[in-house]
Chain A
């Protein structure tokens, strides 16, 4: 009985041609991202229809077409690229400074117990301060222009990177370190050949968290008197009552944040192929 039930199913799988198999594989590959787009695109469409049908006037929450038109308008005048470049360069310089400092201090604290006892309590106390609280001080110290903005972003990036690196280095498996010792690795060789590769997965996570905070802090930085940048577009849109411009800036923030995060993921994926972790192979988008 069981045989007769199973046989037709078997035949059917064998009957599928290579082409249908390949196309179904392609379908599966694109199905994931498409599924992710379903909700935002559906909501946008629903809102567009609601405004079009007159269910809402769309003045405070502009419909997608209006947001898109605002973006096109800004892009045509060259304003948009100017603002994006200003914001991107602030995030980039703040991110680089924060990552370098965080990696350095994190590595020292993680590797050297005395440094951890000496340094870590102070860093943790500083971390407890809401970073926005630094704004007045930074403006007094570094002026209203670029330096204070980059400094604020760097502070935001520093802490997650510092914590990630310190935690990762101090928790590297002693057994793996012993392998390095039996092959008589010098200090620098131990760091290069054992510790760095071992902490790499955690480091990538720390970089991505740091970048996320960098994007958060660039808005705070640009709220404090900027003449260009996406944060300026937000303030400008609020003061002149242009909700479409605000939403357009928010959407661009989302696109830029997701893209830069994805770039880190793409750039580091080849270095992490060795991982044997739950979701290590299927989790990469």
Chain B
């Protein structure tokens, strides 16, 4: 279990990015964090990843305090961040250096197959499209079999079709080992299609505003009325988190706001 206990972060320049954020997330749960810009989403994720340290509060995974990057926690960034001097296969195997070469090769081959890039094993990262590169990044993070996988707006730089494709693909991969997924996004559609729980945050300073459970069976139909209903609820919560006046949530059209920035 991943436990966040009153996590807060104030940067050295005085910016109060995050305040008393508490949540506990079960193994295998998918949680989406959504909120306006400057609500501390990325700060929170970096604290869980151990890349930055929280100024107050604690992050614990199975009762181990996280203060530095941990083997059981993987992260996928907004950019693929592949190492340009390594082939696609070597990029995926980057976190497996303690394994024997044969074991590593086998795991990498399986991962390549799983993300549908078996034919690109020896390609350079520069030869990949944006979607392919992000697939490699996903494979690289999943191949050491983390217990928790953090995703920081992983698909926001992709076009709408590729994004949908990769969302489905991510769920499919998640189903293999069922790690905990914690996803930061500003795309309401993405949050509702992926998450068991959506945590809406409120900015300045960033804190938890509302929690919405998505009780929809997977695979989820993006066009069903239930799906729309959850989307509307998340949108309403977002609007309220920004103190916007929304008298009648149900009358609101959501079509124009499927991509919520």
Chain A residues at the B interface, C-beta cutoff of 8 Å: 175-176, 178-179, 181-184, 189, 193-194, 197-198, 200, 273-276
Contact A274 B126, beta carbon cutoff 8 Å: yes
Contact B69 A274, beta carbon cutoff 8 Å: no
17 additional contacts (CB under 8 A) given A178-B77, A183-B95, A184-B71: A175-B79, A176-B81, A178-B51, A179-B81, A179-B94, A181-B51, A181-B69, A182-B69, A182-B75, A183-B69, A193-B94, A197-B83, A197-B85, A200-B85, A273-B124, A274-B85, A274-B124
Chain B residues at the A interface, C-beta cutoff of 8 Å: 49, 51, 68-71, 74-75, 77, 79, 81, 83-86, 94-95, 97, 124-126
Contact B81 A175, beta carbon cutoff 8 Å: yes
Give A281 to B232 CA distance when docked, in angstroms.
51
**Top 8 closest A-B pairs, CB basis?**
A276-B126, A197-B85, A274-B85, A183-B95, A182-B69, A274-B124, A179-B81, A184-B69
| CB contact between B74 and one of A181, A182, A273 (< 8 Å): that residue | A182
Shortest beta-carbon distance from B148 to chain A in Å = 12
Q: What's the count of A-B pairs with C-beta under 8 Å?
A: 44
Q: List 29 A-B contacts (CB under 8 A).
A: A175-B77, A175-B79, A176-B83, A178-B51, A178-B77, A179-B81, A182-B49, A182-B51, A182-B69, A182-B74, A183-B69, A183-B94, A183-B95, A184-B69, A184-B70, A184-B71, A189-B97, A193-B94, A197-B83, A198-B85, A200-B85, A273-B124, A274-B86, A274-B125, A274-B126, A275-B84, A276-B124, A276-B125, A276-B126
Shortest beta-carbon distance from A9 to chain B in Å = 32
Q: Interface on chain B toward A: helix, strand, loop, or mixed SS?
A: loop
Q: Interface on chain A toward B: helix, strand, loop, or mixed SS?
A: helix
What residue in chain B is nearest A274 (Cβ atoms)? B85
Contact A194 B77, beta carbon cutoff 8 Å: no
Known: A182-B69, A182-B74, A183-B94. A274 touches B49 (CB 8 A): no
| CB contact between A179 and one of B83, B85, B97 (< 8 Å): that residue | B83
What residue in chain A is nearest B46 (Cβ atoms)? A178
Give A178 to B51 CA distance when docked, in angstroms.
8
In the complex, chain A residues whose CB is within 8 Å of the CB of B84: 274-276
| Residue among B77, B79, B83, B126 with max Cβ neighbours from chain A (10 Å) | B83
| Residue among A181, A194, A200 with max Cβ neighbours from chain B (10 Å) | A181
What residue in chain A is nearest B87 (Cβ atoms)? A274
